[in-house]
Amino acid sequence: MTVDQQGSRRGPDRVGEALARLGDGLRPVLPFERTAGDEFQGVLGTPEAVLEVTVRLVRLGGWSIGIGAGPVQNPLPPSTRAAAGPAFLCARRAVDAAKQRPMRLAVRGAVPPDAADAQAVLSALAVLVARRSPQAWEAIDLVEDGRTQAEAAAELGISRQAVGQRLAAASWELERELRPTAARLLARAAG
């Protein structure tokens, strides 16, 4: 993945904040690191990890996200900046394309039709994520951490029905349904 901060010349550098958020619980093949100015790259080993990073970045807001699906040259170097291969070329093309797209997300891959399909599903997923309220995120975070809706409700001081309403308004179930489809398409896009 190659990620570029939107409007970096008009605001503070947010790369450090993003890197901190991406370091939590993810196990990249090569860690995310700043490559130039307000841009950073990382190599992820599974489509599911790519989806998790994408959702986190969309939630943060203000990023152009380029996803490159394809092989990388082996053996891998210790630094993302020193790595090479078709996946990196695809990620570069994708981040450039993302800057021109409404959701600021693009996928380029070894199999272009599958990359286009993955981009469509990921863009729909990004729309869902970007529209969520802080209250919806509170409920989602608790449920995704393993709490039941009743436990989340008790922690938030609201009814279980209110938690269910927050999850429904956030289209959380639809996100859960879209993720496996997006993962399969990303895998196919890599060839």
pLDDT at residue 7 in the model: 81
Residues 6+ apart with CB under 8 A from 103: 58, 123, 126, 127, 130
> For strand 63-69 and strand 2-5, is the pairing parallel, antiparallel, or unpaired?
antiparallel
Cα gap 138→83, rounded to integer Å: 38
Per-residue pLDDT, 11: 77
pLDDT of 114 reads 97
What pLDDT is recorded for position 9? 75
Q: What does the pLDDT profile of the chain (191 residues) look like in tens digits?
A: 999 999 877 778 899 999 988 877 888 999 999 998 899 999 999 999 999 999 999 999 999 999 999 999 999 999 998 999 999 999 999 999 999 999 999 999 999 999 999 999 999 999 999 999 999 999 999 999 999 999 999 999 999 999 999 999 999 999 999 999 999 999 999 99
Closest of 47, 70, 59 to residue 185, by C-alpha: 47
Predicted TM-score (pTM) of the model is 0.92
Half-sphere exposure of 16 (CA within 13 A, CB side): 2
**pLDDT for the residue 23:** 77
Is-contact 19 81, C-beta < 8 A? no
Spell out the SS3 assignment of the chain.
CEEEECCCCCCCCCHHHHHHHHCCCCCCCEEEEEEECCEEEEECCCHHHHHHHHHHHHHHCCEEEEEEECCCCCCCCCCHHHCCCHHHHHHHHHHHHHCCCCCCEEEEECCHHHHHHHHHHHHHHHHHHHCCCHHHHHHHHHHHCCCCHHHHHHHHCCCHHHHHHHHHHCCHHHHHHHHHHHHHHHHHHCC
